[in-house]
């Protein structure tokens, strides 16, 4: 290969800039993805969730989630007319599904019902975690996803305290805050999230609120939806259909 | 009630004993400074013997105050980013600026102005390495004419006036860090900054009172009983305000009984019963208030009053530390689902363990020892111009 010195030096510089870009962890966005054309959310139909744990496993595999921590998890609720007193469990975040409750450990009576509630970061429009981060390492993207710059995070844990939903954790080796990214590396390439893809019943649906053709608009028109802890006024964007009043 | 569920990510407690230490140390700073300002601004002449000691105590504790935070960070090497690229909506991001303002503009300047005459004289009378140190401490300003000293006095007074709201800001801000977290019902209260300010004054005043009595005893001098009586009187008044505020918060929570009440009430009656009810409220508040109240109304002998002040002061320190513990650790013992609880295990030798906490509590006393040696705070030993 015939290469002049001038061309070699130019090539080295370009390679250096490209490498720095890779090292900086800049999200790889597909060329035709317009960041301002989207406003991401998620729709969860509680009635469709069967608690299989596929979503939790898919998330852990896709995002290298450390053992014992969860970017998404499933809670099993059991309640009756005393909705302030639900019986809740989430063994290993529901990763391996749920065994039937041992005899005598559950609620009894005619009004008892049982259901599963998948949880994840609510990608709040007015997120308290973004507000409290002392250096702005947690930020909201123009397309509505709350992300963390791991190369900037101090590991002060203030955001973990500020999240009302228990979605954040500190990575035990990296010592930085982590949480659900709504699979940003996937959705900006036109894919859905790992959890939505793995859900066998379609309980979880990625939604783009800025896309007029997104089925979420039709769904919301016809169904009653709710967000978790609405009293927190965080602008949560994970919408739940058929959510029971006992869910925290 | 089925109180046995926590969110899966809540199994790990986020803020350790080091974060308990942080408001405890800054509280001592703010309280000691307020005591110093009593003499300077409010002309309470009786507490003059403690004026300089209070300032040096505040400085010693202020120098150590950021260390527990620094040791707690997952990436301490990035902490400077808080100064370089602060996130303006974050209460925590303002810490650096409040801290620097208080250290550089208020405390160091006030101490320097108050000691400038002594430093200049010491730079002339000392020899060797000490002479160099004192020379540097003069910052090149060796004019100690009467006019110059008068100017020092005026400027010092203005700085103390600025320093009082600054001390309130320093510790009120620490309370705001907790009080503004709406996700945590144990913390979330607009009263939190006010309670923190008054508890800071209580702990700082008690600490300086104890230090003054201890150091005077160790040096073989007689304790100025009028001074200690006055400090105890102010401690008593401020303690009553502090306790009233805390009770107002408690009664409000009980009467309002919002969605978090059952969960928090259960916690107070179980895991927080000893640290909160027994140590903080009973031993650390009611008993010292009772003792201080008794010294105000009963005709007790001087030696008895001194003993009671030591007991009340020590219990106060324990009570205020317990208050910080119950806020920081207690606020993390329940799940944000309000359906369960977790526990805190205090390790001995880890980076955020008991050993580190003890070291960081003793360190300010070591710094204070050096400061007292370098800048003797005893007024009657003040250097003569001759």
DSSP A159-182: HHHH-TT---EE-TTT-SEE---T
Classify strands A238-241 and A40-45 as parallel, antiparallel or unpaired: parallel
Q: For B91-128, how does the pLDDT look when each residue is reduced to its tens digit (9 = 90+)?
A: 999 888 888 898 888 999 999 999 999 999 999 999 99
Residue B386 has pLDDT above 50, yes or no: no
Partner-chain contact A86 B72, CB within 8 Å? no
Partner-chain contact A135 B11, CB within 8 Å? no
- Find the CB nearest B15 among A130, A153, A157: A157
Partner-chain contact A133 B90, CB within 8 Å? yes
Contact B72, B18 (CB under 8 A): yes
- Our CA-based measurement puts residue A222 at a distance from the nearest CA of chain B, in whole angstroms, of 30
Partner-chain contact B75 A176, CB within 8 Å? yes
Partner-chain contact B339 A134, CB within 8 Å? no
- Predicted pLDDT of residue B385: 44
**Local structure of residue B298 (DSSP, 8 states):** S
Question: pLDDT class for A19, splitting at 50, 70, 90?
Answer: low
A191 touches B: beta carbon within 8 Å:
no
- Predicted pLDDT of residue B379: 64
Rounded to two decimals, what is the model's pTM?
Answer: 0.91
- Give the span between the Cα atoms of A144 and A14, in whole angstroms: 32
**Cα Rg, chain A, nearest whole Å:** 21
Partner-chain contact B86 A134, CB within 8 Å? yes
Tokens coding B98: 């409040």
Contact B7, B186 (CB under 8 A): no
Partner-chain contact B181 A69, CB within 8 Å? no
Question: pLDDT class for B1, splitting at 50, 70, 90?
Answer: low
Q: For A137-185, how does the pLDDT look when each residue is reduced to its tens digit (9 = 90+)?
A: 999 999 999 999 999 999 999 999 999 999 999 999 999 999 999 999 9
Partner-chain contact A175 B90, CB within 8 Å? no
Q: For B159-200, how does the pLDDT look when each residue is reduced to its tens digit (9 = 90+)?
A: 999 999 988 888 888 999 999 999 999 999 999 999 999 999
Contact B31, B200 (CB under 8 A): yes
Domain residue limits, chain A = 35-241
- Our CA-based measurement puts residue B5 at a distance from the nearest CA of chain A, in whole angstroms, of 6
**Local structure of residue B220 (DSSP, 8 states):** T
- Say how many CA atoms lie within 13 Å of A193 toward its Cβ: 31
- Give the span between the Cα atoms of A159 and A153, in whole angstroms: 10
A35-241: what CATH class? alpha beta
- Give the span between the Cα atoms of B11 and B346, in whole angstroms: 15
Locate the chain A residue with the closest alpha carbon to B94. A134
**Cα Rg, chain B, nearest whole Å:** 22
SS3 label, residue B177 = helix
Q: Which residues pair with A113 in a beta bridge?
A: A79
Question: pLDDT class for A12, splitting at 50, 70, 90?
Answer: confident
Q: How far is CA B150 from the centre of its chain?
A: 31
Q: For A110-137, how does the pLDDT look when each residue is reduced to its tens digit (9 = 90+)?
A: 889 999 999 999 999 999 999 999 999 9
Q: Please report residues of B whose CB lies closer than 8 A to that of A114.
A: none
B349: burial class by Cβ within 10 Å (0-12, 13-18, 19+)?
exposed
Residues of B with CB under 8 A from a CB of A: 1-2, 5-12, 14-15, 69, 72-75, 78-79, 81-82, 85-87, 89-93, 95, 177, 181-184, 262, 332, 335-339
Q: What are residue A120's phi and psi, to 5 degrees?
A: -165, 180
DSSP letters, A192-208, are: --HHHHH-SS--EEEEE
Q: Which of residues 34-93 of A touch B (CB under 8 A)?
A: 68-70, 73, 75, 84-90, 92-93
Q: For B65-83, how does the pLDDT look when each residue is reduced to its tens digit (9 = 90+)?
A: 999 999 999 999 999 999 9
CA–CA–CA angle B155, B157, B162 (5° rounding)? 95
A95 touches B: beta carbon within 8 Å:
no
Contact B183, A164 (CB under 8 A): yes
Domain residue limits, chain B = 8-248+255-379
- Our CA-based measurement puts residue B89 at a distance from the nearest CA of chain A, in whole angstroms, of 6
């Amino acid at each position: 290969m015939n290469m002049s010195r001038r061309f070699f030096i130019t090539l080295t510089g370009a390679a250096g800039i490209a490498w720095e870009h890779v090292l900086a962890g800049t999200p790889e966005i597909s060329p035709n993805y317009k960041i301002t054309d989207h406003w991401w959310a998620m729709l969860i139909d509680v009635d469709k969730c069967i608690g299989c744990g596929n979503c939790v496993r898919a998330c852990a595999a896709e995002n290298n989630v450390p053992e014992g921590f969860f970017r998404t998890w499933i809670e099993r609720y059991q309640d009756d007319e005393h909705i302030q007193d639900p019986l809740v469990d989430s063994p290993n975040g529901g990763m391996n599904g749920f065994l039937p409750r041992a005899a005598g450990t559950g609620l009894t009576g005619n009004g008892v019902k049982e259901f599963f509630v998948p949880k994840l970061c609510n990608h709040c429009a007015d997120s308290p975690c973004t507000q409290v981060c002392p250096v702005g390492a947690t930020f909201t993207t123009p397309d509505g996803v709350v992300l963390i710059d791991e190369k900037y995070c101090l590991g002060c844990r203030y955001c973990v305290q500020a999240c009302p939903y228990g979605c954040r954790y500190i990575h035990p080796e990296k010592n930085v805050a982590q949480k659900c990214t709504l699979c940003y590396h996937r959705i900006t390439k036109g894919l859905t999230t790992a959890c939505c893809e793995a859900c066998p019943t379609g309980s979880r649906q990625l939604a783009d609120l800025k896309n007029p053709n997104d089925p979420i608009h039709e769904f919301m028109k016809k169904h009653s939806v709710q967000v978790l802890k609405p009293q927190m006024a965080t602008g949560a964007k994970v919408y739940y259909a058929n959510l029971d009043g006992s869910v925290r | 009630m089925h109180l046995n569920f926590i969110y899966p990510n809540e199994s790990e407690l986020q803020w350790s004993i080091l974060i308990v230490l942080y408001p405890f140390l800054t509280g001592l700073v703010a309280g000691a400074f307020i005591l110093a300002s009593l003499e300077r601004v409010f002309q309470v002449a009786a507490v003059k013997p403690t004026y300089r000691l209070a300032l040096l105590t505040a400085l010693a504790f202020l120098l150590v105050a950021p260390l527990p935070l620094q040791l707690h960070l997952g990436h301490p090497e990035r902490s400077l980013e808080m100064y370089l690229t602060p996130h303006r909506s974050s209460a925590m991001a303002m810490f650096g600026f409040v801290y620097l303002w208080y250290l550089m503009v208020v405390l160091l300047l006030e101490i320097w102005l108050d000691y400038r005459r002594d430093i200049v004289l010491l730079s002339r009378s000392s020899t060797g390495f000490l002479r160099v140190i004192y020379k540097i401490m003069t910052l090149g300003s060796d004019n100690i004419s009467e006019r110059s000293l008068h100017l020092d006095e005026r400027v010092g007074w203005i700085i103390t006036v600025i320093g009082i709201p600054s001390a309130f800001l320093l510790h009120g801000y620490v309370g705001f860090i907790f009080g503004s977290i709406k996700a945590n019902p144990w913390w979330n209260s607009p009263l939190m900054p006010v309670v923190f300010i008054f508890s800071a004054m209580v702990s700082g005043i008690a600490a300086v009172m104890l230090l003054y009595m201890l150091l005077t005893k160790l040096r073989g001098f007689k304790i100025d009983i009028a001074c200690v009586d006055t400090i105890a009187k102010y401690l008593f008044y401020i303690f009553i305000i502090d306790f009233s505020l805390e009770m107002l918060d408690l009664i409000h929570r009980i009467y309002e009984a919002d969605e978090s009440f059952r969960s928090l009430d259960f916690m107070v009656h179980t895991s927080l019963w000893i640290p909160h009810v027994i140590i903080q409220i009973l031993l650390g508040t009611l008993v010292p208030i009772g003792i201080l109240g008794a010294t105000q109304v009963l005709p007790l002998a001087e030696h008895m009053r001194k003993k009671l002040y030591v007991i009340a002061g020590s219990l106060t320190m324990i009570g205020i530390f317990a208050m910080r513990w119950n806020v920081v650790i207690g606020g993390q013992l329940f799940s944000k689902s309000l359906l369960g609880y977790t526990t805190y295990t205090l390790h001995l030798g880890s980076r955020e363990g008991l050993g580190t906490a003890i070291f960081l509590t003793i360190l300010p006393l070591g710094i204070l020892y050096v400061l007292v040696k370098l800048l003797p705070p005893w007024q009657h030993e003040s250097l003569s111009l001759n």
